[in-house]
Structures are given as structure tokens and as C-alpha cells.
């Protein structure tokens, strides 16, 4: 056995324990870091071949592993933009260098420009939402992603397209009899347009005329948008029109860039009746006037919807998620983010709640998965082992001194 080998073995052991202490220190320092995944040091023996009956001491090597796939507990907050993933997957964020990274740190805060950034300065990414189909994603790449922006469409107006108006026309009124009611519709610029619905008896029993008019508030001139004859059976049920729908013509207001259009509306009147009761009306037309954003909501499947003053909740984005075949082999980077490595496998994109991806919790943060008691125990073990290895080095050094003194 070589005394030099003994000393090198002692140094190897001290270096290994120093590495373990480094991971313990990092874990304890980040015990309260949102989404942090603990590191651990694994030891592997280094054995040198024995020759001539003499034992050659080897040493120990270390390998740092990360418990990225181990989920932490949740802390619930009052902010809707604090996000946590319950299950597998990662948020996709963009750094100041323009590159995309993976993270579980979901403490996002709305910025002045409407984007969402976490405490490390990374911006949350996703896809623009479509009401007709899920956004098309590139399964193995980040193409098509855009920054999620809570100021997108900060002022919105929804033009009217359809509505309903159910009335009871009194069957015991003598001819001629006329009664009117009104509904408000919205044109393409969000202007409110009052439509008047006028019901008049005819000389034929069970028959009424319905006209829909719009009166220009400046000129006071009414314009007929629809005219329909209504017929009822002996039970007071509407039989004409058979479709139970009356359609209005379109209106154009103004000229040039300031022009607006009230598109033709389909008004359902199928529940209109003619019974021996007073005139009554119940109805509504869709659409809304200009309204500002008053808040936002993020669903468990990652749909980001904007709330408006008028009560509308309009989906605008869908949060993108990603995963790899071996999350524990991702490369950790500063800011609690990860990048793909040769051992992690390729990045696969998807959505929350689909294809094995976890659900998104709004108003929650994922805690660090560090166990302080376990780390303190590891620290004490490393301290004792480091001291023991230093004793091996010290003993080898003392024996070397004895050999030197023998020469003298």
C-alpha cells in the first residue's frame, strides 16, 4: 500500500463530502424557493487493481442528481396569476436572451405591458386561444408560442348577431289594437341601437302584424328592418312563421373609417303566445358595448380569460406546457429553470389536463421539495465523514514524516 495513495484516498473522501455539503447548503438556502427541486450527491467507489498482494487504495467519486420529478406541496395565495402544476409537466418561459426554458416556478406577476413574469424575470408563454379549435402546437418545438398578455384587447365591443323575444298578445283585445316593446342591440363599433317591436291586430282572428323598426335619434325617421305576419292556432300557439324566427335587415351608420354596421339579426319568437292575459314581453339580444378589462381568470386546463366590466369572460390565451422523457436529467440553470440535455430526452409539448400533463392551479404556488430535517441530518453526516477522512489524510502525512526521519 502506498502512503501517497492513502493520502489521495483521504483527499478524495474530503472532496466527496465537500460536494455533499455543497448540495445540502444549496437545498437549505432554497428551502423557500418556489418550485425548487432539491439536489443530492450520490457516491461511487473508485477501486484500483491490487498487485503482488499489495492493496492500492482507490477513492470515491460523486454524481449530483436532481429530484426534478418529485412534486412539492402547495401554498395557496390570493393572486390569480400565481400558478402551480398538480402533476407532470413544466411551464414554458422566455428569458431576457430570447430563449425558451422550462420551469415549475409559477409566481407570475402582471407587468406594465401586460405580460406575466416570475420572480426570476422569465415571461410565461402560450398560444392564442380559438373558440373553434385548440391551438395547433408544434409537438417537439417552441414554434408558434407567444407571450401571454393580460392587456390583449384591453377595450372590447361585441356586435349583436341574434336574440329572442317572447311575448303574450292579449286575445281578448278588440281590433284595432297595437302594442310595442323594445330591445337594445349593438353595432360593430359597440354603439347601442334601440329596436322597436310593434304588434298590431288584423281583421282576421288569431292574426297579428309584427314590424321591427329603428328610429334615427337625430332625424326621428323610423326605418323598417323586418315585417312579419303572425298566426296562432286555437290553443294560442304560434304557427306562422313555422321557423319561429324573424330576421332583420342590416343597417349601416356613418361613412368612412367611422362607419359601423348593425348586422342582420335572427330573433327567436317561437314562444310567443296569444292568450287571454295582459300583454307581457321577455327577451334579450346578444352583444355588448365597449368595456374595459376588470380582471382575469385562469382555468385548470390553462385557458386565460379576461374579465370585462360588463361581465363578459372572454378567453384569450392557453398556457402551453412541456415535458421530457427523463425530467430528472434536465440541466438546471440559474433562475430555477431547466433546459434540455442529452440524457433528458426531447421536449414534448401539450396542454394542462391532456395526454398525461397535470392540471394548473390558479392562486397557488408549488413549494420547494426540500426536507429541512433530512438536509440537517445529511449535513451532520457529511461533517463527521469529512472529519474522518481528514484523519486518514493526517495519519498518512504523519507516517510519511516517520519515513523521512528514518532516512535522517
Model confidence at 131: pLDDT above 60: yes
Average pLDDT over the chain, rounded to an integer: 90
Model confidence at 408: pLDDT above 70: no
Model confidence at 1: pLDDT above 60: no
| pLDDT (0 to 100) of residue 173 | 92
Contact 272, 166 (CB under 8 A): yes
pLDDT digits (tens, 9 = 90+) for 195-204: 999 999 999 9
**Cell numbers given for 351:** 396542454
pLDDT digits (tens, 9 = 90+) for 27-39: 999 999 999 999 9
| pLDDT (0 to 100) of residue 133 | 65
| pLDDT (0 to 100) of residue 254 | 83
Angle CA(22)–CA(23)–CA(28) in degrees, nearest 5? 100
Would you list the domain boundaries of the chain? 3-67+369-407, 74-155+292-366, 160-286
| CATH 3.40.50.1370 is the classification of domain 160-286 | no
| pLDDT (0 to 100) of residue 140 | 64
Report the alpha-carbon distance of residue 155 to residue 189 in Å, rounded. 11
pLDDT digits (tens, 9 = 90+) for 321-349: 999 999 999 999 999 999 999 999 999 98
Strand 273-275 to strand 162-170: parallel, antiparallel, or no bridges (unpaired)?
parallel
pLDDT digits (tens, 9 = 90+) for 272-297: 999 999 999 999 999 888 888 888 89
Task: Fill in the DSSP letter of residue 194.
Answer: E
**Which residues, including other chains, have CB under 8 Å from residue 353's CB and lie 6 or more apart?**
300, 301, 302, 359, 360
Q: What percent of the chain has pLDDT over 90?
A: 68
Model confidence at 404: pLDDT above 80: no
Helices 3-29 + 372-407 axis angle, to 10: 160
Please state the rounded mean pLDDT for residues 129-151.
75
How many C-beta atoms surround the C-beta of residue 185 within 10 A? 25
Report the alpha-carbon distance of residue 116 to residue 83 in Å, rounded. 11
| Residue that wins the pLDDT comparison between 404 and 171 | 171
Total H helices, total E strands in the chain: 2, 32
Query: CA-based Rg of the chain, rounded to a whole angstrom?
Result: 37
Q: What percent of the chain has pLDDT over 70?
A: 95
Q: Is the full-model pTM beyond 0.85?
A: no
| pLDDT (0 to 100) of residue 291 | 82
Residue 160: exposed, middle, or buried by beta-carbon count in 10 A (0-12, 13-18, 19+)? buried
Least confident of 70-79, 87-96, 305-314, 320-329: 305-314
Angle CA(153)–CA(80)–CA(26) in degrees, nearest 5? 120
How many C-beta atoms surround the C-beta of residue 315 within 10 A? 15
Amino acid at each position: 500500500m502506498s502512503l501517497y495513495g492513502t493520502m489521495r484516498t483521504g483527499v478524495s473522501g474530503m472532496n466527496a463530502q465537500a460536494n455533499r455539503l455543497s448540495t445540502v447548503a444549496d437545498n437549505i438556502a432554497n428551502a423557500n424557493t418556489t418550485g425548487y427541486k432539491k439536489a443530492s450527491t450520490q457516491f461511487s467507489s473508485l477501486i484500483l487493481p491490487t498487485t503482488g498482494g499489495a492493496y492500492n487504495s482507490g477513492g470515491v467519486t460523486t454524481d449530483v442528481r436532481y429530484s426534478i420529478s418529485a412534486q412539492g406541496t402547495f401554498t395557496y395565495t390570493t393572486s390569480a396569476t400565481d400558478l402551480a402544476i398538480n402533476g407532470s409537466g413544466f411551464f414554458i418561459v422566455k428569458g431576457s436572451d430570447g430563449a425558451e426554458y422550462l420551469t415549475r416556478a409559477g409566481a407570475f406577476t402582471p407587468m406594465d405591458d401586460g405580460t406575466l413574469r416570475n420572480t426570476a424575470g422569465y415571461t410565461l408563454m402560450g398560444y392564442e386561444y380559438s373558440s373553434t379549435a385548440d391551438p395547433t402546437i408544434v409537438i417537439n418545438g417552441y414554434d408558434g408560442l407567444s407571450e401571454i398578455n393580460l392587456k390583449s384587447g384591453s377595450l372590447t365591443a361585441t356586435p349583436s348577431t341574434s336574440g329572442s323575444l317572447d311575448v303574450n298578445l292579449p286575445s281578448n283585445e278588440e281590433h284595432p289594437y297595437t302594442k310595442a316593446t323594445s330591445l337594445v342591440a349593438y353595432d360593430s363599433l359597440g354603439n347601442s341601437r334601440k329596436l322597436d317591436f310593434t304588434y298590431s291586430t288584423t281583421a282576421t282572428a288569431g292574426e297579428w302584424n309584427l314590424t321591427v323598426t329603428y328610429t334615427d335619434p337625430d332625424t326621428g325617421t323610423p326605418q323598417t328592418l323586418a315585417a312579419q305576419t303572425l298566426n296562432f292556432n286555437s290553443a294560442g300557439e304560434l304557427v306562422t312563421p313555422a321557423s319561429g324566427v324573424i330576421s332583420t335587415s342590416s343597417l349601416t351608420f356613418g361613412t368612412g373609417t367611422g362607419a359601423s354596421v348593425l348586422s342582420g339579426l335572427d330573433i327567436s319568437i317561437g314562444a310567443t303566445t296569444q292568450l287571454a292575459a295582459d300583454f307581457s314581453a321577455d327577451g334579450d339580444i346578444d352583444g355588448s358595448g365597449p368595456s374595459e378589462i376588470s380582471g382575469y381568470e385562469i382555468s385548470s386546463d390553462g385557458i386565460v380569460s379576461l374579465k370585462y366590466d360588463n361581465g363578459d369572460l372572454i378567453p384569450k390565451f392557453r398556457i402551453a406546457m412541456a415535458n421530457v422523457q427523463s425530467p430528472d436529467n434536465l440541466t438546471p440553470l440559474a433562475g430555477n429553470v431547466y433546459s434540455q440535455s442529452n440524457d433528458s430526452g426531447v421536449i414534448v409539448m401539450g396542454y394542462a389536463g391532456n395526454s398525461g400533463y397535470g392540471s394548473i392551479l390558479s392562486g397557488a404556488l408549488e413549494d420547494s421539495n426540500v426536507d429541512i430535517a433530512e438536509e440537517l441530518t445529511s449535513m451532520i453526516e457529511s461533517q463527521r465523514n469529512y472529519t474522518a477522512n481528514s484523519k486518514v489524510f493526517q495519519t498518512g502525512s504523519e507516517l510519511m514524516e516517520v519515513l523521512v526521519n528514518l532516512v535522517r
